[in-house]
C-alpha cells in the first residue's frame, strides 16, 4: 500500500475526526490547521523514511 497516496485522507481524518476504526479520533480542526497537520506528517516522514513515501 502506498501511504503517500492516502495523505489527503489522513489529513482529513485529523481535521474532521473519524469513528470508523473502532475508536473515536477527535476532530482537531479547531486547534490545528491543514498546514499544521501537513507539517506533523512531514516531520514523521523525516524521522522514518518508510512512512508515507
x/- track of binding to ligand HEM for residues 6-35 (CB under 6 A): ----x--xx---x--x-xxxx-x-------
CB burial readout 1-29, b (16+ within 10 A) else e: eeeeeebeeebebbbeebeeeeeeeeeee
| Residue nearer to ligand HEM on the CB measure, 31 or 49 | 31
Q: Quick check: 44 binds ligand HEM (CB under 6 A)?
A: no
**Shortest spacing between CB 3 and ligand HEM, in angstroms:** 10
Beta partners for residue 25, in sequence order: 18
Amino acid at each position: 500500500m502506498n501511504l503517500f497516496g492516502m495523505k489527503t485522507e489522513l489529513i482529513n481524518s485529523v481535521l474532521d475526526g473519524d469513528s470508523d476504526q473502532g475508536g473515536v479520533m477527535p476532530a482537531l480542526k479547531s486547534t490545528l490547521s491543514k498546514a499544521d497537520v501537513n507539517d506533523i506528517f512531514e516531520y514523521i516522514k523525516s524521522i522514518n523514511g518508510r512512512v508515507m513515501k
